Amino acid sequence: MVSYRRVDQDTAGRIADHLIEKYGEKSVFFDVNSIRTGANFVDRIAKAIIACDVVIAVIGPHWIGKTDDGKPTRLEDPADSVRFEIETALKHNKTLLPLLVNGATMPEAAELPESLRFLHFCNAARVDSGQDFRMHMARLIDTINEVLNEAGRSPLREVSPIRRYWTYGAGVAAAALALAVWTVGPAFEHTVVKGASDDQTTVGRTTPPAVPVSVTQRAKAHDGFLFPDSDRRFLSEADLKDMSAVELRIARNEIFARHGRFFKDQVLANYFSQFAWYQPAAVEVPLSNLEATNVDTIEAKEHEK
């Protein structure tokens, strides 16, 4: 559930949309989308909190609700909706994740009603709406997944019957067809195009190499990634120093795969499909500036091979 003040609705809505993209619409409660006209607002909010695993408290600069005339803040009102949401989450022992947005800082303990003073001592995450938004959201999603895993809940969205058919039926047929084409037809090579995944490359002469078992084993030892943090830190020359051409290719494309890119290249599609985190959803996926830089860094190393 995403809890927020109306003044922060745009930022909160963007956060909710990103979470919906990751977990599915039915797994994210955002009042504007989730409460039908005529429903009892308080009752619906309470039921949503009781049913959820995580409550995200979006805290903007006006979250406390200070007034210019010296009257009590909105948060001091026991009937305040945001206070009700946080107190209900606390009452039902829900995991609360405070997010500081739009330049806000964590309120001082003295500014909070006694029932909410624990918030001041919580480790809050920051989500900026600028170019680092996707990087900050990736960190938030990692935290949510940790909470869900600790609770024994799957962090991945339900696979629809149609998609299940495609993944386990048509996908198998496509893999078999691709194998037949590569076996009897001409061989092709994917030449790297700057800042691109292998589905955006030009055609050359030799078949893309298969992924060795050793590469898969290395990835499985790190939750299915060669670089689990390539969306959060810049990769260096030292990181890539001893990697083979195949490892570099996988490392570059897993940056796109993390965001759900569909791969036409069957070697890549088959490789990433074995990991539960890979949820293909789009042909074109946006990258943060950090991720785009890492793609370029890996690509430069590939040219040396």
pLDDT in tens, 1-36: 999 999 999 999 999 999 998 888 888 988 866 666
| Total domain count, the chain | 2
Tell me if residue 282 falls in helix, strand or coil.
Answer: strand
Lowest mean pLDDT among 31-40, 119-128, 272-281: 31-40
Q: Is 246 part of a structural domain of the chain?
A: yes
Strands 125-127 and 95-101: parallel
Q: Is 155 part of a structural domain of the chain?
A: no
Residues 143 and 166 in one domain: no
- Considering 150, 181, 209, which residue would you say is the last residue of a domain? 150
Residue 52 confidence (pLDDT): 87
Q: Percent of the chain at pLDDT above 90?
A: 33
- Residue 143 CB burial class (10 angstroms; 0-12, 13-18, ≥19): middle
Residues 99 and 173 in one domain: no
Q: Is 227 part of a structural domain of the chain?
A: yes
The pTM for the full model equals 0.51
Residues 116 and 184 in one domain: no
Residues 129 and 227 in one domain: no
Residues 143 and 185 in one domain: no
249 has pLDDT over 90: yes
Residues 113 and 215 in one domain: no
- Residue 116 sits in a domain whose CATH number is 3.40.50.10140
Q: What's 15-61 look like in SS3?
A: HHHHHHHHHCHHHCCCHHHHCCCCCCHHHHHHHHHHHCCEEEEEECC
Q: Map tokens 């805290």 to a residue.
A: 59
Residues 169 and 247 in one domain: yes
Residues 8 and 146 in one domain: yes
What gap in Å lies between CA 224 and CA 276, rounded to an integer?
A: 8
Find the mean pLDDT for residues 209-232.
Answer: 89
- Considering 121, 150, 179, which residue would you say is the last residue of a domain? 150
Q: Is 112 part of a structural domain of the chain?
A: yes
Domain that holds residue 272: 161-304
Q: Is 156 part of a structural domain of the chain?
A: no
- Considering 113, 130, 150, which residue would you say is the last residue of a domain? 150
Residues 186 and 121 in one domain: no
Helix (H) or strand (E) holding 139: helix 133-150
Closest C-alpha to 268, from 200, 186, 194, 205:
200
Tokens in use for 282? 């789009």
Q: Is 14 part of a structural domain of the chain?
A: yes
Q: Is 258 part of a structural domain of the chain?
A: yes
Residues 52 and 75 in one domain: yes
Q: Is 55 part of a structural domain of the chain?
A: yes
Q: Cα 165 from chain centroid?
A: 25
Lowest mean pLDDT among 54-63, 163-172, 246-255: 163-172
What gap in Å lies between CA 19 and CA 2, rounded to an integer?
A: 10
Residues 230 and 127 in one domain: no
202 has pLDDT over 90: no
Instruction: Name the average pLDDT for the chain.
Output: 79
Q: What's 194-248 look like in SS3?
A: CCCCHHHCEECCCCCCCCCHHHHHHHHCCCCCCCCCCCCCCCCHHHHCCCCHHHH
Q: At what angle do helices 245-257 and 213-220 cross, to 10 degrees?
A: 40
Q: Cα 300 from chain centroid?
A: 27
Residues 54 and 128 in one domain: yes
Q: What value, to the nearest 5°, has the Cα angle with vertex 301 and ends 197 and 185?
A: 50
Specify the amino acid at residue 151: A
Residue 163 confidence (pLDDT): 34
